[in-house]
Amino acid sequence: MTSLLTPDTPVESVPAPARQTPPTAVERFRPQARRRLVRADFLGALGWLSGVAAVTLWLADGGATGFSSLAGTMTALGIVAGLIGMDLVLLMLLLAARIPFIDNTIGHDRALEIHKKLGKPALYLLLAHGLFIAIGYGAAEGLDPISESVSLWVNVPDMWLAFVSMALFIAVVVTSLVAVRRKFPYEFWYAVHLLTYAAVATAIPHQFSVGGLFAEGTWQRWYWLAFCIATGAALLFYRVYQPLAASFRHQLTVSRVVRVAPDVFSIEMTGRHLERLAGSGGRFFFWRFLAAGHWWQAHPFSLSAEPVLAMSAAQKSARQGKLRITVRNLGDGSARLAKINPGTKVAIEGPYGMFSTAARTRNKVVMIGAGVGITPLRSLLESTPFEPGQATVLLRGHDESELFLGQEIMSLCQARGVTLFYLTGPRSGGNHAWLPQSAAAAGFTLSSYAPHIADADVYVCGPTPWAASVIRDVQWAGVPAEQLHYERFDW
């Protein structure tokens, strides 16, 4: 069933809402949702446990006995702050390592959100570590904190590396603050961010060469070493080896670039073994086009079509298939991509994100997209399972020319029995700013289009302020947090 609301359709004649399907006896995605919640709890518990372990290391070494004097108290606080700070840094690295278990449980966005949130506390703890140690050691030796710091730098093995590490951590955290970050190009921010690895690498030697806490042969030393090595190994495997292996396995090559609208184009690619990416509809990859002027930038773009094995027998036997992304020219890099030549090789990292069937919790589904945010909905609509009558799609644009891939989506909706609304026209103000003025003035809300929304998974993708307004309405409509899936296109 396909219904349309176009600018020519008076809003009073909004088609009857989607046929209400009776509650289905079996919610096929419930077990998957339950497993995901259990995995999320497990990850949360692991995070907290690692913090508890850091404090336990310190207690087991008699850390609490230092509180008998001022110098001892400062030193004890310094050590425990350093341990927890370093623990947070390792957790941050693991969250950014794109480990599938984490990505498929809480999603790439959420993992990076937690990563960002941990940044400041980690830095404060590491600063407190340096400060308290300088005061504590200094008080014990009758030196002021500055003279003590100089003495530590000069006399203690590997300590100068710890000072370098601290300077690097400060640089990374300061450039990550939103206000500062916006002033620099993404590549600059990214390059500075890579210094985190140098910061961690330079922080580690003094931990093993200075303290009795990690003395040779102690379990504390083994635990800490294992934690550091596991983090490094996860980063190497998932950030370096996996992307290289995926790029080599799939051998992606640009086959053609198709104009979708004046500033929007699709890049089609052929590749091998794409059946291994089945079900990735809605997810995103980092794409690196291996051509002059492009190879040094990796862009995140979502699939706008589910990967397919190509249809001819010869292509099937060669396991050849097709992939597609749709790109809006929003900056220098994306503008240049419009001119990419067929035959260009493409390296990929991914698929990432939870904007896919993997996030489903309910049989019913509502997809709401605007602008280029419509394009991942196109591939999700193609790939995610539902019965006819159980899905609703709302596409928002200023006019129909902004409903990118709208014709393809309409065909898919017709074929799969989806209720489709085109919402066009100038935006309204007030509470439902995402709706066209005419619809909001006539009293329509999200529930007018998707009456079953509280019992559906809701996927939202579009410009950030627009999406924020949709998400408010989704929440007002009584949709629980675990049923809301939102893909952000900004960084």
Residues that bind ligand FAD (CB under 6 A): 185-187, 284, 297, 299-302, 325-328, 330-334, 353, 372, 375-376, 487, 489-491
CA atoms within 13 A on the CB side of 55: 5
- Smallest gap from Cβ 383 to ligand FAD, in A, equals 15
Q: How far is the CB of 82 from ligand FAD (least distance, A)?
A: 32
Residue whose CB is nearest to ligand FAD in the complex, by number: 331
User: With respect to ligand FAD, which residue has the nearer C-beta, 82 or 353?
Assistant: 353
Nearer Cβ to ligand FAD (101/186): 186
The minimum distance between CB 354 and ligand FAD, in angstroms, equals 11
Residue 382 vs 487, nearer CB to ligand FAD: 487
Nearest residue (CB) to ligand FAD, 325 versus 439: 325
Which residue number, 11 or 372, has a Cβ lying nearer to ligand FAD? 372
Q: Which is nearer to ligand FAD, 149 or 375 (CB)?
A: 375
CB of 216 to ligand FAD, least distance (A): 43
Quote the least distance from Cβ 327 to ligand FAD, whole Å.
Answer: 4
β-pair type (252-261, 345-352): antiparallel
Give the tokens for residue 109: 């966005």
Q: Whole-number minimum distance, CB 373 to ligand FAD, in Å?
A: 8
Q: Pick the closer one to ligand FAD by CB: 186 or 222.
A: 186
Distance (Å, rounded) from C-alpha 389 to C-alpha 386? 8
Q: How far is the CB of 186 from ligand FAD (least distance, A)?
A: 3
